[in-house]
Structures are given as structure tokens and as C-alpha cells.
Structure 1
Amino acid sequence: MKIVVNDHSGHAFTLQLSKQFVQSGHEVLYAYSVSFQSPKGNFQDLSVSDTSLTVLPITVKGKFEKYSILKRRKQEIEYATQLIAKLETFQPDIVLSSTTPLFVQQHLQKYCIRKGIKFVFWCQDIYTIAIRQIARQRLGLIGFPLWCYFKKLESDLLRKSSHIISITPGFNDLFKKWKVPLGQVTCIPNWAPLPEITPVSKNNDWAKRYQVADKTCIVYSGTLGLKHNPSILSAAAQYFREHQEVIFIVISEGLGADFLQKEKEKHQLVNLMLLPFQEFGDMSQVLGTADILLAILENDASAYSVPSKVLAYLCAEKPIVLAMPPDNLSASIVKDNNAGYCIAPDNPKDFFRQIENLITDPVKRTEMGHNGRVYAEKNFDIVHIEKKFMQVFNTIMN
């Protein structure tokens, strides 16, 4: 089978799935955006045996305008045009498209329908939620028609897809409202590439490079966008500023990282270290440096977003403290497996208190970290995950 995996963000787990498709004898084209700011998979370490895997890095003109609807529309169409040109020669049987902006999805889906290619919408987030926030903040009431336009666009794309792979049953209520037939939806939860994120010593090369091996490190690694409130991270750094052994390390880029840089300067937070996204090859050491790992998510984003960073954290065998609604799928995994704590995002004092509890209890940190790794080993088997995708592909091809 000839499969296209299009992941605009270039995540490590989608690249792992693509490699597994190749291992099973399929020919795969993997496309992603070089221009989009996000943590990327390890594209530097593609083995010679992956000869049936073609990686297509797509670059658009200028910096990707993530928060400008008009400017990014032009860039999204440019991305779609480059991808479709490659599809003309690759001639796939199936296109699996994930974390991809709506205008890219629109052009890609139209092409697939025209050519008789099966288009599978891998639904990681509901984009309309973020667009509604932008419209409210920047346009007020006149932004309502814009939101309605995108809501119709996203719901139409879902309905017209050959199949939908959803990462959480939490999306189903919205699918019902949008009249998306649940019979064409299969839930396959996200995962992290277990063999590539392994538990390592805190006293590692990455920790030594940044001179934090002797510190109690509280680490956040991942995107900080409209779904997140980065102020809780700067507030945590302020809360612990008298603890000289404690340092907060935030690895991110974009809007949230810029906000934290201003907060760091304003409040002279010497215990807040801000770093850009790190190479995925260093991820085991980055997470291994942590004593505690953090993730955050706003209340109104919880039903339509599942932070994949939490799944990578589980692999690292470190305890996790979440500031997110407890009904989120990631929060449920952490709580149900005693891999950390989950606090409502509007309760920062309890968030700080749980971090403090773990700082003073190394036995609990070890126990929770171990529980998280056990969960990952049980649930992140890529061979088993691939079978779920292939069941969908075989069904729609037949």
C-alpha cells in the first residue's frame, strides 16, 4: 500500500508510525512543515533501511504567521500546493493527515476526492476552538461570522473524509453536533515513541551543558499557545524564588515563550531558564534532567485537546504535575496510574503546593515516575498501534 502521512507539526510519534508502516512493507511519504514552530521528530536519524520512506520537508516563504488568519492562509495554500505536487508523482492509495491547518486540509482533501484517493482526517485538535478565541480577542462581535465560516469549513472537512481517526472519545459530542457520523470515526489515542525516550541519569551531558545537574529541575517542554496560560509557570517561578536549589526550565518558542521572557525580565526571575525547542535526539536527556515535569491546559480547551507532551513525559520515568481540567484524557491517564498530580488550571496555589510536595519527597517522585513508565510500556507498542491504523485503512480500501 502507498501511504502518505502528512503531519504539519512533524511530531516524533507520527514519524515513528511512518517507519513502522515501512517495516510492514508499505511505501510511505511523510510530509511536514519546516517553517512551523513546534517540537520535531528526529529527522536526522533516519536509517539506511528506511528506503521505502520518503521524507518531504516543506518550507513556506517567511516566518509562519500562526496568529494572523489572512497571512497564514496564504502560507497554508503554499504548503498544500507543494505537497499536492509531490502527490502527483507518488500516487498514494491513502492520505493520513494530522495536526494540519484547515486550508491545507481543504486543498488536500479536494485533491484526494478528485483523484479517488482515500483521505483520513487524523483529528488531534478542534481548530475552530482556537479560531474562536482569536476572533473574540481581536475582532469582538464582528469576529462571529469569521468563526462561523471556520466552523462550517472544519465540520464539512470531517464529514467529507473517508474516515476520521480521533485521539479521544471526548470529541464525540462535538462530532454529533456537527452531524459527523460516528460510524466513520475510530478512536486511537496518541502515544509517544517509547524506544526513543528512555530513562537516563540526571547527571547527563545535557544537564551538564546547561549547568543544572546539581539543581532540582522543574521542566516544561512543548508548545505554549492559546490553549495554555503561561502565567502559571512564571507565577510558580516567583513562588519558589527563595529556593535556591530549584530551577524552572521552560523549553518552547512563540507567543507563550515571549510572554515568559518578559515576565522573567520584569520580576528578575533568575530561577526561570528559557530555551528553544531542543533536538529530539536530546529528548531523553532533557526529560532525564527533570525532577518534576509540568503540563498546562486551559479549561475551555480541555474537551478538544489532549497534550501529547504528557505521553512523552510518561516514557521518561519522572513524576508529572498538571494544571488542567481533571476530565482531560491526559489528566485521567496520570491520575488513574498514580503517575503524578492534576490540579484545576484556576487553582495555582494547589499547583505550587503539589510541586512542593514532590520536591520534598524523592520516594514519591520515584514511585510516580515508575508508574508512568509502566503505563507507557503497556500502551505504546507501535506494532499494536499500527494494526489499529491498518484495520481502518483496509476497511476503507475495501
Structure 2
Amino acid sequence: MRIVIHDYAGHPFQVQLSRYLAGLGHDVLHIYSSSISGTPQGALTRQPGDPAGFEAHGISLGYTIDKTKFFQVYFQDDVKHAALAVEQVERFQPDVVMAANTPLRINAALQEHCRRHNAKFVFWVQDLFGEAAKRILAGKWGGMGSFAGAYMQAFEHRLLKKSDAIVLIAEAFRGHIPKVSCPVEVIENWAPLEEMPLRDRVNPWGAKHGLAETRNFIYSGTLGMKHNPDLLVGVAKAFQEVSDVRMVVISQGKGMEYLTAAKAEMGLGNLVLLPFQDFADLPDVMATADVLVAILEPDAGVFSVPSKVLSYLCAGRGILLAVPPENLAARIVAENGAGMVVPPTDVPAFVAAAREMLAGDLSGYGSAARAYAERTFDIDAIAARFLDVFSRAGVRV
């Protein structure tokens, strides 16, 4: 079978699936955007030992996309990416295309190409773009934002109805998609367990950055202003007089600019700011943490699970999570005893939770997190379920 997986974001677990399917003897083209920033990506180039049938292709527009410019993204960037992605699909001639984390205009172009060339299209729903647009754009542009949001939601519903199969990341999604005639399967997200092995607390990466002998809170991932970076400032301030505690932030973009200014203004020597690290170093990065920190913006979708939270679960470290309480990530962490969860707007509660975790026994949180990952992130079983989806979509597997 010839398979295209179009994962716009380039997350680690989607490319793991592509490699695994290629290892089963399928020909797999993995397409992603190489023009986005602020999103940690997986191992998207060929690695030693990769299956012969695995190919990865980054779509470059020749510049970095500015996600804050809605009209430019929708009317220019997405159109350019769609044309280049369709070129790759045309070259590869797949039996099935599965798209995840993909803007709607790009999805529409891929779906139309599949229809014209007798290939199947699987919509892998990571979040509801239309619903998010309707919520975020409401009240903007003199009332036109609500119209634009409603249009995006209707657009998404049309694409879902025209798909040959749909994959949802949570059962609760079913109530938020239109009635469709195609198969709908729920497959929860995961992290590539074998790429996140347990490492020693003292390791070369931690020693290189002066973190081998300190107690460390580590945040790694996208950080915009909407993620409330004051939460991280609050932790640094709370432990400013504790000589062996560090608040480490690994990111880039507006949130990091804000933290750089706050560090200088408040003299926060314990606030360690680093750029994104190589994917190969992530196991050591996470092992260096005593507590791993994640933040989800207050208006995030109920079912959105940041990929970093899934990676954190593999690391065997306690997780301090600031997310809306109804979010799926909050339920995973809380129900499995993998850490503590507070609202993303409550700095005092976040700081109090940080103090409580660091003062307590962290090993229980870490063991629970790793146990959940080992129980849930079985790529053999996960890949078999995707192959079943392709079969139900009408592909000869």
C-alpha cells in the first residue's frame, strides 16, 4: 500500500507511525511544514536504519509563517503550501492520504486531489479548527469575526462529510462533528516511547547546562503570550532565594522575549532560558527535570492534548500542568496520579503546586506517568488500528 501522512506540524508521534508502517512493507511519504516556528518537531529526516519505504518531505515556502496574520495565512500561506503538497501527492500516487494538524484549505486541496485520482482521504482530527475559529474570532473585525468563524466551522463540516474515514483523538469528539456516513474511529494520541527512554537524572545535557546539581522545573515547547508566561515567572520568583532551584524554559518566540525582559528586570538568575534543543537530546532534557511543566492557553479546545504532555509521560517525571480543568490532558494527568493540575490563569495556585511537588515525594508521580505511557503508547497496536481504518475506508491493505 502507498500511504501519504500529511502532518502539518511535524510532531514526533505521527512520523513514528509513518516509519512503523514503512517497516511493515508499505511505501510511506510523510509531508510536513518546514516553514513554521515555535512548534517542536520530531525526527523528520532520514535516520540510520530507516525502512527503505519511508520518505519525508518538508514543504518550504521560503519564509517563516507568521501565524498572527490570519488573512495572510489563510489566503496566501495555506494556498502555497496546498499547491506544493498536492505536487508531492501527485508524484507519489498514494492509495490513501491521511491529514493531521492540517489547515482546512490544505485539507480541501488534498481531499479534492484524492477524489480526482481515486485515492482515499482520511481526516485525522487533532482539534476542531472550525470550532476554534468560531470561538477565537467572535467579536473581532466589527462583527465580521463571528461570520468568519461560522464559515470556517461549516467548511470543516463539509470536509468531514466528504472524507472516506475519520480518526478522532477522544470519544467526546463525536458530539462535536456532523453526522457522517463514513467510518469514525477513536485513536488517542501517544508519544514515541522508544524515542523517549528513561535516562539518568545526572546526564551530559544537564551537566553541560549547569543543571546536574540543581533541582529543576523544566518547560519545553511552544510558548506564546496566550500561554501566560507569568506562571513561569511566578515559579522563578518563588524560589529566587533558594540557591539550588532552577526554572528552565526551552522555547522561542514572543513568550521567550517576555521572559528575557522579566529576567533582566527582576534579576531572576534562576530563570534559565534556552532555545529549542535537538530532538535526540530530549530524553536527557526531560531526565534533568525534577518536575516537568506544561501550560495550555485558557481558550484551548477541550480535547487538545499538547504533544509535550505525552512526551512528559514517557519521561518518568512528575508533571505540573496549567490547563483548563475540563481538558483531556488534565484528566489524563490527574486520573493517573502523574502530577498536579491547576487553572492556567491562577499564578498563586501554580506556585503553590510547584512548592508542594518539590517538597514531596516525586517518585510516585514519575512512576505513574511512565506506567501510563507504557500501558497506552504501544505502537504495534496503534498501527494495527490505523491499518484497519484504511481498510474500512476502502483501501486494499
TM-score, length-scaled by structure 1: 0.93
The answer to whether the 8 A contact 2:127-2:301 is kept is no
Deviation at 1:369, TM superposition (A): 0.4
Specify the alignment match of 2:28 in structure 1.
28
Structure 1 Cα separation of the partners of residues 139 and 69 of structure 2: 12
Amino acid at match of 2:13: F
The answer to whether the 8 A contact 2:67-2:73 is kept is yes
Structure 2 Cα separation of the partners of residues 392 and 268 of structure 1: 54
Amino acid at match of 2:17: L
The answer to whether the 8 A contact 1:124-1:167 is kept is yes
Specify the alignment match of 2:115 in structure 1.
113
Amino acid at match of 1:389: F
Specify the alignment match of 1:83 in structure 2.
85
Specify the alignment match of 1:297 in structure 2.
296
Structure 1 Cα separation of the partners of residues 68 and 125 of structure 2: 20
Amino acid at match of 1:374: A
Structure 1 segment 40-189 matched on structure 2, within 5 A: 40-44=41-45, 46-73=47-74, 74-132=76-134, 135-136=137-138, 139-175=141-177, 179-181=178-180, 184-189=183-188
The answer to whether the 8 A contact 2:318-2:366 is kept is yes
Structure 1 Cα separation of the partners of residues 278 and 28 of structure 2: 23
Q: Residues 251 and 343 from structure 1, CA distance in 2 versus in 1: closer, same or farther, beyond 3 angstroms?
A: same
Range moving further from structure 2, 162-171 or 261-270: 261-270
| Residue-by-residue CA offset, 1:245-287 (whole Å, 9 max, x unaligned) | 2111111223333333333333332222222221110110110
Amino acid at match of 1:385: I
Q: Residues 261 and 216 from structure 1, CA distance in 2 versus in 1: closer, same or farther, beyond 3 angstroms?
A: same
Structure 2 residue matching 1:301: 3-state secondary structure: coil
- Bigger fraction of residues in helix: 1
Structure 2 residue matching 1:300: 3-state secondary structure: coil
Structure 1 Cα separation of the partners of residues 66 and 156 of structure 2: 20
Q: Residues 69 and 182 from structure 1, CA distance in 2 versus in 1: closer, same or farther, beyond 3 angstroms?
A: same
The answer to whether the aligner puts 1:395 opposite 2:375 as a matched pair is no
The answer to whether the 8 A contact 1:12-1:42 is kept is yes
Amino acid at match of 1:144: S
The answer to whether the 8 A contact 1:302-1:324 is kept is no
Structure 2 Cα separation of the partners of residues 189 and 171 of structure 1: 11
Deviation at 1:184, TM superposition (A): 3.2
Amino acid at match of 2:63: G
Structure 1 segment 357-368 matched on structure 2, within 5 A: 357-361=356-360, 364-368=361-365
Structure 2 Cα separation of the partners of residues 242 and 356 of structure 1: 13
Specify the alignment match of 2:376 in structure 1.
379
- Percent identity of paired positions between Structure 1 and Structure 2: 37
Unmatched tracts of structure 2, length 5 or more: none
Deviation at 1:365, TM superposition (A): 0.7
Amino acid at match of 1:143: G
Deviation at 1:191, TM superposition (A): 0.5
Specify the alignment match of 2:202 in structure 1.
203
Structure 2 Cα separation of the partners of residues 237 and 377 of structure 1: 32
Structure 1 residue matching 2:281: 3-state secondary structure: helix
Range moving further from structure 2, 125-134 or 299-308: 125-134
Deviation at 1:140, TM superposition (A): 5.0
Structure 1 residue matching 2:172: 3-state secondary structure: helix
Deviation at 1:370, TM superposition (A): 1.1
| Residue-by-residue CA offset, 1:129-176 (whole Å, 9 max, x unaligned) | 54346535863533222222222222222222111111112322321x
Q: Residues 140 and 278 from structure 1, CA distance in 2 versus in 1: closer, same or farther, beyond 3 angstroms?
A: farther
Deviation at 1:323, TM superposition (A): 1.2
Specify the alignment match of 1:2 in structure 2.
2
